[in-house]
Structure 1
């Protein structure tokens, strides 16, 4: 498994784990608090910061364990990254229509922010899945 593929696996795991922890926390609050009164900002920032930190730390461990390959990309890695980026762009663009419409119709900020976070999380996961499939099966 190449260094870039290992990094993609890390990205996929973090793209699922961080939002899952965040959603679990928020759902725990829903039972006792109306959704529009839930203080989601701090929890969302912690989830995003934790995801970034986890990706960095895991990437460092992968880099240390495969120091010969670290930072090296061949043409295949570049092509897979490029195609993954294009798919991610289109997925994110489509998903962002929902929060845009929500903002135009003055939906409470809780729903808009969580829809945007969901769009980021889904895009990151789909981007990773596409890259992993490309590494395993090719285009």
Structure 2
């Protein structure tokens, strides 16, 4: 497994895990509380920071585990990355319509922020899935 594929797996697993924990924690408060009163900004920023930090730390650990492969990329890696990033861009572009519509409908900021957060998570996951499939099925 190339270092790029390892990083892709790390970002996919960390991104999904952090988002699931955050969304389960915050959205569990929705049935009992008015969404305008739910403090979500701090936990959301914390989850974003934890996701970035954990991704960096795990990528460093993976690079230290196989230092000869760390940082090595070839044309195949670059092409797979490009394709994955294109798909992520298109998913984000389409998914961003939802928070835009919510803002136009003057929905609570809570829902707009979470729709945008989910759009980012879906874009990153789609990008990672495309890359992993390309690595696994051959490119």
TM-score (norm 2): 0.96
Q: Distance in 1 between matches of 2:100 and 2:138?
A: 35
Q: Distance in 1 between matches of 2:66 and 2:84?
A: 23
What is the RMSD computed on CA atoms of the aligned residues?
A: 1.0
Q: Distance in 1 between matches of 2:109 and 2:38?
A: 11
Deviations 1:15-61 (A, max 9, x none): 21011110111133224312222110011011100000100100010
Question: Matches of residues 9-48 of structure 1 in structure 2 within 5 Å?
Answer: 9-48=9-48
Following TM superposition, by how much is the alpha carbon of 1:101 offset from its aligned partner in structure 2, in angstroms? 1.2
Structure 1 counterpart SS, 2:106: coil
Question: Matches of residues 57-136 of structure 1 in structure 2 within 5 Å?
Answer: 57-136=57-136
Structure 2 counterpart SS, 1:30: coil
For structure 1, list consecutive stretches of 5 or more residues without a partner in the other structure. Answer: none
Greater relative CO, 1 or 2 (CA 8 Å, sep 6+): 1
**4+ residue segments displaced more than 4 Å:** none
Give the total of aligned pairs. Answer: 139
Q: Distance in 2 between matches of 1:23 and 1:86?
A: 26
TM-score (norm 1): 0.96
